[in-house]
Amino acid sequence: MKNSIVISIIYSLLFFSCIGPFKGNFPETQFPAELEVVTRKAWKWKKIKGDVPIPQEIKKITIHHGGEEFSPEKDPVQYLLNLQNWSRNEKKWVDIPYHFMIDLQGKIYEARPLAYPGDTNTSYDPTGHALICVMGNYEVQTLSEVQLQAVVDLTAYLAQSYNLTIRDIGGHKDYTETLCPGKDLYRYLEDGTIPYEVNRLLKKQE
């Protein structure tokens, strides 16, 4: 699996090696069978048009929350489409600010291409960070077991893909003044649960 990941990363870096108009399709990421991800194609992600940023080298994995309450009745796909439109039209960002998003059922969605740095309304520079966002506001909502497992599984996949360690895993608030990713999500970073479980998965894959 590692060889295919390395080839994919190299291809992406070569493919996106300059700033300029982009009209084609992004290489489709091949996720391992044990990691279920709703791909950009599956949720009808709209292609990036116009200038794109210089590709980044992933050095950290940073966990966020959406910051607004997310109810079970809310459609995650429509939320993604709305977020994409808002990000591009209102914020003038290249795409959704995060690379992956996780819904209330623990389903993982592929968002902004990892080749490109994410965006933020806060003061830290997200260049070099793979950004995971859990839909919802975890200052007031409670993270479920399936969501926590999705965060662990996705973080372990990214850590293995980019040769990172648990020291490279953090929350948004570790880099700037913010409540993100919310106290009920951040506690699993603070008490070592997420790093421990990620490390356990990485050791199983050695």
Considering only 15-19, 190-194, 198-202, which range has the smallest mean pLDDT?
15-19
% of the chain exceeding 90 in pLDDT: 78
Instruction: Convert the pLDDT of each residue in 137-183 to its tens digit.
Output: 999 999 999 999 999 999 999 999 999 999 999 999 999 999 999 99
Instruction: Answer whether residue 42 shows pLDDT above 80.
Output: yes
Domains in the chain, number? 1
Whole-angstrom Cα distance, residue 47 to residue 62? Answer: 25
Whole-angstrom Cα distance, residue 135 to residue 158? Answer: 19
Cis ω before 181 (30° cut-off from 0):
yes
pLDDT confidence tier of residue 189, bands split at 50, 70 and 90: very high
Classify 37 as helix, strand or coil. Answer: strand
Q: Which position has the higher pLDDT, 42 or 3? A: 42
Classify 101 as helix, strand or coil. Answer: strand
Model pLDDT, residue 48: 85
Model pLDDT, residue 73: 96
Strands 60-65 vs 169-171: parallel, antiparallel or unpaired: parallel
pTM metric for this prediction: 0.87
Model pLDDT, residue 10: 43
Instruction: Give how far Cα 186 sits from Cα of 142, 157, 171, 182, Å.
Output: 11, 20, 7, 6
Model pLDDT, residue 80: 98
Model pLDDT, residue 21: 42
Instruction: Convert the pLDDT of each residue in 18-31 to its tens digit.
Output: 344 444 456 678 89
Instruction: Answer whether residue 56 shows pLDDT above 60.
Output: yes
CATH number of the domain encompassing residue 173: 3.40.80.10
Classify 203 as helix, strand or coil. Answer: helix
| Cα 157 from chain centre | 11
Model pLDDT, residue 9: 44
Range of the domain at 190: 2-204
* String of DSSP letters for 110-172: E-S-TTS----SSSS--TTEEEEEESS-TTTS---HHHHHHHHHHHHHHHHHTT--GGGEEEG
The burial of 8, by beta-carbon neighbours within 10 Å (0-12 exposed, 13-18 middle, 19 or more buried), is given as middle
C-alpha R_g of the chain: 16
Are 9 and 161 contacting, i.e. CB atoms less than 8 angstroms apart?
Answer: yes
The burial of 16, by beta-carbon neighbours within 10 Å (0-12 exposed, 13-18 middle, 19 or more buried), is given as buried
Q: Of the candidates 55, 44, 47, 190, which has an alpha carbon nearest to the alpha carbon of residue 116?
A: 55
